[in-house]
Structure 1
Amino acid sequence: MANDLDALAGVVPADQVTGRLTEAGRLAEELSEQGISGVVLYWADNNGIPRSRTVPIQRLPRVAEEGVGVTVLFAVFDSHDAITHSYGGLSTASGERRIVPDLSGLRTVASAPGLAYAPVDQFRVSGEVSEYDQRAALRRQVERAEQQGIELRFGYEIEFSLFRADGSTPAHSGPAYSPHALTVLGDFQADLLRAFAETGLELNQVHAEYGLAQLEVSLRPAEPLRAADEQLLARQIIHGVAHRHGYRVSFAPLVTAEGVGNGWHVHVSPWRDGRNLLTPAGDGSDVHGLGRDGAAFLAGLHRNLPALSAVGAPSVPSLLRLRPGYFAGAHTIWGVENREAPLRLVQGGGLLGEGQWNIEFKSSDASANPYLLLAALISAGLSGLEEGTAPPPPVAEDPGTWTEEQRAERGIGALPTDPEDADAAIDDSAAVSAVFTPEHREAFRAVRASDVAWADGLTDAEIVAGHLWLY
């Protein structure tokens, strides 16, 4: 398969193509016998929006060999399907890429009978990895971590708002976190749990959240590529079950201009030789109650917070969501179980076990490309490990309640809520900007600028409405 890291250096080796053909032929026969008629090849663009092609099951062996052609201009689709040509490298309609399914990630989805889903890698027609492939960006960072003996595990919390089919009537009215809220949804919750289980995606829990008609599912931790693939697949499951029950789902960063938004919090833990590096050693080497290397990983994340936020919350409504007092993570702090911190240390030990220590990154939502964001998180964390830096002391309060002078005294700033500041933050971060190829960086910049141009002159409410159903 093209997911072999050696293939990223250039053209896919012939023996990999042969193996891919054999595997694809076997899968096609098995899936056809199970009543599967097609395979959805899926990826996410620079706006976090899932895109896809569906191929008949009989064509899977051929597609596994040569891929499916798509325009290279998907790299410069903005959030509203406009194609921006402001980046000179993609200034015309000429150019093609091939999307090749990663068969190791192929799943049948209970909420989409008759179809299987497979994530894709993007290649040039020559067989070289596409310079715009976010999945390849994640692979490169995974390989970098492996060279240092580091393994990463990521888990997602996915918040979404559930409406009646008309798209305007909330499916439940609360109370927040109450079983009463879910009671009115009938069999939706049970079917959702069943669909995840039958698809093979492990859930930690489902519950009614704080916002308008809001629910949350949390996915079990997985290695990086699988975590990103499953985040996209989870969306499809939720959409499918909701549609079957007469509901409509919004994963948008905000569903009302003034309300609590939908954050997609990412939990990360770095491991070496089977040990969670965040776990305290208790031998005098710990830093702020963390293992020394785990603290250095956290320091790398903390130092690069503005750039990570620019990748994790890139859309115009994302920037509107990053407000103090909304559990969105609006300031450059980390804290121990502090839900106003963009980096929340979740402690293990006790009932949880020592392996459960992790860091929650909160400045993230559905408009982030999951592969790109996880790549940025790995790169930032590794930069801290490589330099052996230590994070500043944790903050237990909400800096949004402090004066500017108090924040300045502690060296605490706000995460970027201006598009130009967000763009500059990526350039200012060596760790995060290194995740992009030069071509991809310019395409990402062009897409963000096109989104800003679309929003020019609109009210916050109009901006929110324009993003409700995109993800």
Structure 2
Amino acid sequence: MDTRDVIQQVQAAKIRLVRFLYCDNGGIIRGKATHARKLGNRIHEGIGQTLAMQAFTGVETLASVEGMGPVGEFRLLPDPATFVVLPYVPNTASMLCDMVRLDGEAWEACPRSFLKRMLARLAEHHIRAEVGVEHEFYLARDVEGQYVPADYSACYSSVGMDEQAMVVDSILAALEAQGFAVELFHPELGPAQQELSLTHVDALRAADQVLRVRETVRGVSRLFQLYASFAPKPFLDQGGNGAHIHLSLWGMTGHARARQNLFYDEHRPGSLSQMGLYFIGGVLRHLHALVAITCASPNSYRRLLPHFWSSAYGAYGFDNREGAIRVPSLFKGREQDSSNLELKCADHSGNPYLSIGALIAAGLDGIINKIEPGDAQVIDPGNYSDEERAQLGIRRLPLSLNEALDALEQDQVLLDALGPLLATSYIAVKREEALFFADKSPEEEALQHFYKY
């Protein structure tokens, strides 16, 4: 879709406001809206935004980052290919934006541009990435100032399907109206917890869709007087919400330029290629730093517990749902197409552009440097003794956001991938968030995360 198509759709749908949206370092979706009559100019000019917004935290404070104060601007420049009419609010559409400098070049602190850079690195090796995300969230009601689950159904139960059938159908209709292909939807482990999966697409579009899913689910839920929360651990006594990242790498080979899944090799154990193993090796080597990005809030570390199927250890295995990386079994008749790796230690407090981009950076390091991941684990890593895990090289994931940030500050591969400005601003924002919640109770922490995500 180009600018002309966008303007025609705006006119045909009688749109009044067009939101220019982005996801910041705090994982919050923010933006500004232009009136439709100014859209023709705004698409090319962008909308001005203070540089300080990339130092703004998820707790509405300003982290101290040199050059990100009251002086200076960047522009929110929309991608016309992301234009959608929003079916859950009146006369409104939106586009997702890159952050650009006043000279029109990508701003070094832009998360979406970071992902584009990582995809360009893959392209240098004649590789492209496809991603699908599993979205978990709770539906809740506000009862006298407290969030309570919208129902108390059991995991995967048909009762749970019936309880939320109306809102779920409306969510699916809204997603389909925006052009998204839904794969699965079912009640999850917690009361009124839901899981939604979309078809895997190219990595940039997949990251864009993460924002769209969050916006759509929350927007539609409000029409039913419900609150949808993607927070990692919104109810401390229940299962957490993940945003599991399923990733596959694809290359073009031969004179026919055939489509080839580079993680698939039918002659190897589990049909996982050597490249796939190297990718896992890179991710495991950088995992302690990576989770500072994929599990990006203090609340995240209440989810990453042993025996909770969310991954608590740096291990991988074939269909092992307690490993940080699961190698899913393949589907008969479409083995190559279904070959992928799942990162389980990821949630919606992470900016999806940063999460997917950093995952690619870690895995690509494994491919380039031929990093072996060791043996696949056939049991829950939490069932080993500490001594056995030490012998196997299996480490516990960080226990807090600060611990993960310590690892990120020491990981030169990920720091170089992010670049100085993005790395500095991101770490500053996350340190500020960790400090804010340091003296808060678990209940207060969960409550504040509930609404933000």
2: distance between equivalents of 1:130 and 1:25? 26
Instruction: Select which of 88, 106, 110 maps to 2:66.
Output: 88
- Structure 2 counterpart of 1:438, which letter? P
After superposition, what is the alpha-carbon deviation per residue over 1:79-106, rounded to whole angstroms, capped at 9, x for unaligned?
1111122x3343x321211101000111
Deviation at 1:312, TM superposition (A): 0.2
Q: What residue is the counterpart of 1:122 in the other structure?
A: 99
The answer on whether the counterparts of 2:6 and 2:83 sit within 8 Å (CA) in structure 1 is: no
Q: What residue is the counterpart of 1:27 in the other structure?
A: 6
> Residue 252 of structure 1: SS of its match in structure 2?
coil
The within-5 A match list for 1:8-407 is 23-85=2-64, 87-90=65-68, 92-166=69-143, 168-273=147-252, 274-282=259-267, 286=268, 289-407=271-389
1: distance between equivalents of 2:199 and 2:217? 16
TM-score, with length taken from structure 1 = 0.91
After superposition, what is the alpha-carbon deviation per residue over 1:248-282, rounded to whole angstroms, capped at 9, x for unaligned?
11111111223211111010001111111121241
Q: What residue is the counterpart of 2:255 in the other structure?
A: none
Deviates more, 1:398-407 or 1:265-274: 398-407
Number of corresponding residues? 445
The answer on whether the counterparts of 2:300 and 2:347 sit within 8 Å (CA) in structure 1 is: yes
Deviates more, 1:420-429 or 1:328-337: 420-429
Deviation at 1:26, TM superposition (A): 4.5
After superposition, what is the alpha-carbon deviation per residue over 1:12-71, rounded to whole angstroms, capped at 9, x for unaligned?
xxxxxxxx9xx4244223321222222111110112110011111121111111110011
1: distance between equivalents of 2:164 and 2:393? 46
Instruction: Select which of 449, 460, 463 maps to 2:431.
Output: 449
Consecutive aligned runs of 4 or more in structure 1 exceeding 4 Å deviation: none
- Structure 2 counterpart of 1:35, which letter? K
Cα-Cα RMSD: 1.7
- Structure 2 counterpart of 1:326, which letter? F
Q: What residue is the counterpart of 1:16 in the other structure?
A: none
> Residue 175 of structure 2: SS of its match in structure 1?
helix
Deviates more, 1:39-48 or 1:348-357: 348-357
Instruction: Tell me whether 1:416 sits opposite 2:398 in the alignment.
Output: yes
> Residue 216 of structure 1: SS of its match in structure 2?
strand
2: distance between equivalents of 1:376 and 1:445? 14
Deviates more, 1:152-161 or 1:32-41: 32-41
Q: What residue is the counterpart of 1:8 in the other structure?
A: none
2: distance between equivalents of 1:31 and 1:386? 46
- Percent sequence identity is 29
The answer on whether the counterparts of 1:162 and 1:250 sit within 8 Å (CA) in structure 2 is: yes
1: distance between equivalents of 2:49 and 2:245? 30
Deviation at 1:348, TM superposition (A): 1.7
2: distance between equivalents of 1:458 and 1:427? 25
2: distance between equivalents of 1:144 and 1:411? 30
> Residue 396 of structure 1: SS of its match in structure 2?
coil
The answer on whether the counterparts of 1:138 and 1:374 sit within 8 Å (CA) in structure 2 is: yes
Q: What residue is the counterpart of 2:256 in the other structure?
A: none
After superposition, what is the alpha-carbon deviation per residue over 1:314-352, rounded to whole angstroms, capped at 9, x for unaligned?
110112221111111110100111111110011224254
Deviation at 1:165, TM superposition (A): 4.5
TM-score, with length taken from structure 2 = 0.94
- Structure 2 counterpart of 1:139, which letter? K
Structure 2 vs 1, CA of residues 184 and 26 (structure 1 numbering), >3 Å: closer, same or farther?
closer
Deviates more, 1:347-356 or 1:457-466: 347-356
Structure 2 vs 1, CA of residues 105 and 266 (structure 1 numbering), >3 Å: closer, same or farther?
same
2: distance between equivalents of 1:169 and 1:138? 36
Gaps of 5+ in 1: 1-19
After superposition, what is the alpha-carbon deviation per residue over 1:121-171, rounded to whole angstroms, capped at 9, x for unaligned?
111112221111001100101111011010100001100000125452311
Gaps of 5+ in 2: 253-258
